[in-house]
A and B are shown apart, each in its own frame.
Chain A
Amino acid sequence: MKLVIINYGAGNIKSIQFAFKRLGIDAVLSNDPEEILAADKIIFPGVGEASSAMAMLRSSGLDKLIPTLKQPVLGICLGMQLLCESTEEGNTEGLGIFRTKVKRFANDVKVPQMGWNVIKDLKSGLFSGIKENEYMYLVHSYYAEHCDETIAKTDYGINYASALQHNNFYGVQFHPEKSSLAGARILNNFLNL
């Protein structure tokens, strides 16, 4: 199993690497197109601000490479949001894999949403063995609107897509690497897809 975590300068990737290490997998951090193309599974991470993350992807040409990937790809947090059509954060155009848009939470809830919330209406092998209403750790100010590709839902002021899937592309808004044993199970499921 060759697992690559795309390293384009965005966010806390050490935690993701450690989470896989706890599962017995040594993930490689890389921004080298050849190494990414040769991987069995790919993690597309992201923490921080959308427009600057997108700029970093463009400057390395990864914005062109990622949509062509045929292996299972898992976008985490901002990684998932950048796989959508667009995000209101910095008025940023995304990679357009998931046919949905990312919007900012309204001010009737505290922003960012920070902490543990439940995921429900789970639809995907990614959630094999995960019970409905399982708790996941989330930190975000923007959310993906529902579409046909929603595979998990969460409520925070509104009901939104906390996970998405389009063919070989998966995206989760929560941080499985920080979500205790249930999060580890999801990462393990991804390795077994």
Chain B
Amino acid sequence: MLFPEIPEAAVWAIYFAPVASFVTIVAFLRTRPLLAGRVTIAAVFVAWLLALWALDTVSGHDGEAVGFAPHHWFTLFEFEVDLGIRLDGLSAMMLFVVTSISLLVQIYSTGYMAGDGGYARFFAFMSLFTAAMLGLVMSSSLLQLFVHWELVGLTSYLLIGFWFHKPSAAAAAKKAFIVTRFGDFGFMLAVVLIWSKTQTFDIFEINEAVHALPRAVVAGFVLGLLSGAAGKSAQFPLHFWLPDAMEGPTPVSSIVHSATMVAAGVYLLARFFPAVDAAPGGIQMLIAYTGGFTAIFAASMGIVATDIKRVLAYSTISQLGYMVMALGLGGYPAAMFHLFTHAFFKSLLFQGAGSVSHATNTFEMPLMGGLRKHMPITFATFVIGALSLSGVFPLAGFWSKDEILLDAWKHDKFLFAVATVVAFMTALYMFRAIFMTFFGEYRGGAPAEDHGPTHDAHAAPASSPHDTDGHGGLHESPRSMTFPLMMLSIPAVLFGLIAPTGFFGRLMEGAIDPSLRHFEFQIEPVVLVASTVAALGGIAVAAAIYYARMPASSAIRSRLGPLPMVVERLYFVNEFAETGMVRGVLHGFGRGAALVDKYLVDGAVNGAAYATRIAGDILRRAQTGQVQANTSLMMVGVVAAAGTLLALSGGLIDRVSPGLVERLMP
């Protein structure tokens, strides 16, 4: 510990700094965009410094929780809600990751979003997004976590749909929210279920209590968490919102796919790792295989995508699959270590893709090529990110991926094989992207006036100042964009080196019960060889096909029959979900229900009214108009009924015919 112990107020300030910048921008800076950007950066910088302090304190505690008493929010009988901070190894690490990535993304955004008509709005949303994610990871209560979970969903909706004038962006935002909310259906049931069994929302108490609960309850609870996590962390079958989320501005992708939003699902499972651990084995298997399947399934789509951002999107889904798989296999420290390293190099890669599109006006790789010479910083940093992601020694991704592979090797050889194949595929699609983008001849990009769907940087209402200076020739991006790229390269290279010290594992396991701690740094030669061969093999194959063109990709493709097409159509999951489930089943049901409502339910009502009216007409033999006819009939009924009852209770009948009432109604 380098500094004194962090006080509670300072931890709260990590959360409230971006909240304050959001409020400030909305209240005062809507018309002063440049200041909005600076305020956001300043706020996140403060949060980052405090997060470092928090991390320092927690590492002094060996990852164990720093005790802060919760604060009362409201009470309704046994429904008591407290708000508080859970600061331990897991949350401190997440605070550090979220603030670091957010800070660099905000700096990057000042360049990328320059001149956009919604600049101030963008930074307001970004502040809120960061705050929501910070609130999520520091929550001591499940309910508090859920609140921020939903707010993360809201802000990603706002950011993905930032350019709402594009129908594709508006649709993508809606899709992201609804699909993740579908997963939240399970999450919310889990929240309700666990409360009804334990009467508490405190995460720590729930993790303790699971051992005393019936196995079925724990299974239901963990399944609900998995459902929520699958939505947010884009696990099959709820993965299909994520590639569409590329419609948001690239800085949004850079933060959504690394430290926030998608990380939330994995964090949720990690936060409740003791519960996951206590769940029946079948549930853990389900988690592991969900992750494993998602990893290989998404990687296959990454190999055929032509949009560089979509390649990265599938890669994100695939890597999240790794983390979920590791959690299912009991490898909680490994999962979190991969989340940690992945956040940095994936953010880097997205920013690189944004930088490339800044120059070429497109994300379509077939329109790029040869950018290595014109954009040296982007190129170099992108290669670093790709090497790290591919798991090449000694970069960060190597260490974290190896820990996951090691857990798979120890617990499930089949998943180990799957994970190794995924490692090969990862290297393949990343270097395919690099060769298509940075090598060969430049294929012209997209014309500046293009406002096509793949092109985001300049599709904003106001044109970017870079439009004028940029499209004569290719150019490196401005300093505000290359600086974050260079900064992110450092963790992408170095952060893996903490693995052998065991520091990270200890930090993570400080957050859980001592009986669950069994992390130690190990080297398993089989795993080491397999992963390195897979990574280098993937790079070599990519070089052969996309650089040397021996064999050319078209030749391979023609030999595979309809398979590439099926993959390119994303296995028709979108068609199944949108056309089949939503348009077919849901709207079909809705149409049927609407008809029943109109003709059967309301028809019965109108029919009854009509019958009453006819009866009224006949009885009165007078056409006095429907208002009077109906109301007077009704009033007659009321008076008659009331009169009868009055008579009954007044004993009138009793007097006329003693005992009749008793005989009628014993």
Q: Are chains A and B native binding partners rather than an unrelated pairing? A: no
